[in-house]
Amino acid sequence: MDKKIQQAYLYDFYGEILNEHQRKIYEDVVYNDLSLSEIAEEEGISRQGVSDMIKRLDKKLSGYEEKLHLVEKFLSIKEEVETMHEELELLAADEAMSESQKNTIKRVEQLSAKILEQL
């Protein structure tokens, strides 16, 4: 997985654990795509200080993931629901099914779509 995407997932799940200053800097790197120099200038600290903080925060957030596996579970569930949704679409196209079966598949398909939107 791309490093920025991994950082975004880690932040989404564990970012509230960070203090406000740490969150701001991490958001600037991950979401606002600011350079270390831009953040250093904005925060009044050295570029190296920003770099060190990002490394520490990556390690901290990764440590939470190693213990809790929330991102891993989320991605697994999302993948399984996507697969279920695709299978339901294939089933819905089957002409040999009764109207009742098609309606049931349609309802489950709508539920899987709703779950995917929420993920």
- pLDDT tens per residue, range 77-106: 999 999 988 888 888 777 777 888 888 888
Q: How far apart are the first and last CA of the chain?
A: 18
Digit-coded pLDDT (tens) for 44-69: 999 999 999 999 999 999 999 999 99
Residues in Cβ contact with 26 at an 8 Å cutoff, skipping those fewer than 6 apart: 7, 11, 15, 18, 54, 57
- The answer to whether the CB of 85 falls within 8 A of the CB of 109 is yes
Question: 92-105 in b/e burial notation, b at 16+ Cβ within 10 A?
Answer: eeeeeeeeeeeeeb
* pLDDT confidence bin for 117, thresholds 50/70/90: confident
Compute the distance between CA of residue 32 and CA of residue 27 in angstroms, rounded to an integer. Answer: 6
